[in-house]
């Protein structure tokens, strides 16, 4: 798989609810209890504001714009950011997945959204790398998202047998497509920064592009990242990764740390431990085999590295992860 697919597969997003919201007049809604989840939505018509409690916003979203809220924090949607909010259960108390909720008669702002529960035990570590609000403007590859949203609206408006499964697949595709478009923004901004540096101009940085999104937006660094993800058990060295990136060792190390915010070998160790955490939770393999699968011949060395990165011993992590898995 490619690195973005690798990361999303570790999150194991499970669509919890897809629904439509058709509103009119002044309104504001507070959505609490968002832990371990991602919210993804598209403004079909009208406009509204989105904000994340204590982190970001308000951000204006207009017709055709999409958004992803990856941090699992309380957020607000509103026609006016100064409007006093009501709690979401008061509006959506009778809502069911696959339905459309009307507020104040509807007709002014229509939103299609999905909520994903993340069952991967290390979702926080991965999602913390994304900005609180990922906004996709309507003029960016609008046709692909529009087609998906139209299909979702069709399923919501005219439920058919098998509709729940169709909504699941469509919602997952919207999430991936939104993140693809955000990554495309990052790549374009990275190119602008490179050209600006070459000409001595002040670089134009895209906002909120940290960690692995930044890594995938830089072609040379992304090449090294792809090597790590393709064969995490390989005994990678700084020199070898630099060669794959087409850079000198010192230049590669400096650029990698500047872009990704951690040194190359630290990224390698973190990715190995994330993979190991997933296998501890889901594979049933002994720790010695998992250690070998991520490049550690010594179970002791693996356990030390795992505890340093993940915060607890492998056996304890596997037991806790199995308990979480049984809850879904």
pLDDT tens readout for residues 100-112: 889 999 999 999 8
Which among 127, 157, 112, 90 has a CA at the least distance from the CA of 7?
127
Sheet holding 134-136, edge to edge: 100-103, 13-23, 109-118, 37-45, 66-69, 134-136
Distance CA 249, CA 10 (A): 30
pLDDT at 198: 40
- List domains and CATH numbers for the chain: 12-156 (2.60.120), 266-326 (1.10.10)
pTM: 0.66
Which of 127, 140, 247, 251 has the alpha carbon at shortest distance from 187?
Answer: 140
In this predicted structure, the answer to whether residue 88 has a pLDDT above a threshold of 50 is: yes
What number is the average pLDDT over the span 46-63?
89
Among 20, 68, 298, 316, CA closest to 180: 68
Bridge pairing between strands 134-136 and 66-69: antiparallel
Helix (H, G, I), strand (E, B) or coil at 119: coil
For residue 198, CA distances in Å to 21, 191, 202 come to: 48, 11, 10
**Helix (H), strand (E) at residue 142:** helix 142-157
Say yes or no to pLDDT of 207 above 70. Answer: no
Residue of 108 and 114 predicted with greater confidence: 108
Residue 295 CA to chain centroid, in angstroms?
A: 27
- CB of 278 within 8 A of CB of 325? no
The contacts of residue 297 (CB under 8 Å, 6+ apart) are: 291
Q: Which residue has the higher pLDDT, 312 or 6?
A: 312
pLDDT score recorded for residue 142: 57
Q: Which two tokens stand for residue 41?
A: 């939505």
Mean pLDDT over 235-244 rounds to 96
Mean pLDDT along residues 80-92? 90
Strand duo 28-31 + 86-87: pairing? parallel
In 3D, which of 32, 19, 29, 22 has the Cα closest to residue 50?
Answer: 29
């Amino acid at each position: 798989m490619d690195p973005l697919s690798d990361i999303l597969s570790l999150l194991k997003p499970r669509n919890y609810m897809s629904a439509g919201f058709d509103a009119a007049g002044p309104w504001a809604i507070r959505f609490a209890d968002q832990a371990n989840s991602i919210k993804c939505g598209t403004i079909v018509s009208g406009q509204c504001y989105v904000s994340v409690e204590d982190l970001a916003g308000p951000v204006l979203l207009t017709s055709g714009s999409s958004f992803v809220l990856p941090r699992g924090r309380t957020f607000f949607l509103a026609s006016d950011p100064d409007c006093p909010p009501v709690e979401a259960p008061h509006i959506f108390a009778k809502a069911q997945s696959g339905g459309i909720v009307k507020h104040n008669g509807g007709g002014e702002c229509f939103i299609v959204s999905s909520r994903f529960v993340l069952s991967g035990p290390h979702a926080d570590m991965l999602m913390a790398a994304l900005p609180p609000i990922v906004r996709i403007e309507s003029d960016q590859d609008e046709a692909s998202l529009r087609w998906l949203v139209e299909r979702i609206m069709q399923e919501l408006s005219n439920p058919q047998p098998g509709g729940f499964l169709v909504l699941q697949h469509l919602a997952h595709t919207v999430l991936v497509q939104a993140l693809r478009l955000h990554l495309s923004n990052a790549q374009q901004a990275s190119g602008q920064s490179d050209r600006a540096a070459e000409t001595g101009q002040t670089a134009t940085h895209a906002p909120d592009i940290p960690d692995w999104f930044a890594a995938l937006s830089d072609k040379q660094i992304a090449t090294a990242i792809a090597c790590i993800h393709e064969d995490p058990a390989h005994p990678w060295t700084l020199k070898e990764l630099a060669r794959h990136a087409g850079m000198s060792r010192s230049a590669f190390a400096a650029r990698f740390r500047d872009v990704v915010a951690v040194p190359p070998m630290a990224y390698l160790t973190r990715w190995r431990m994330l993979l190991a955490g997933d296998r501890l939770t889901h594979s049933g393999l002994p720790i010695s085999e998992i250690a070998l699968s991520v490049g550690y011949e010594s179970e002791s060395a693996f356990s030390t590295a795992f505890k340093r990165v993940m915060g607890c011993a492998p056996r304890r992590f596997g037991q806790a992860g199995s308990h979480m898995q049984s809850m879904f």
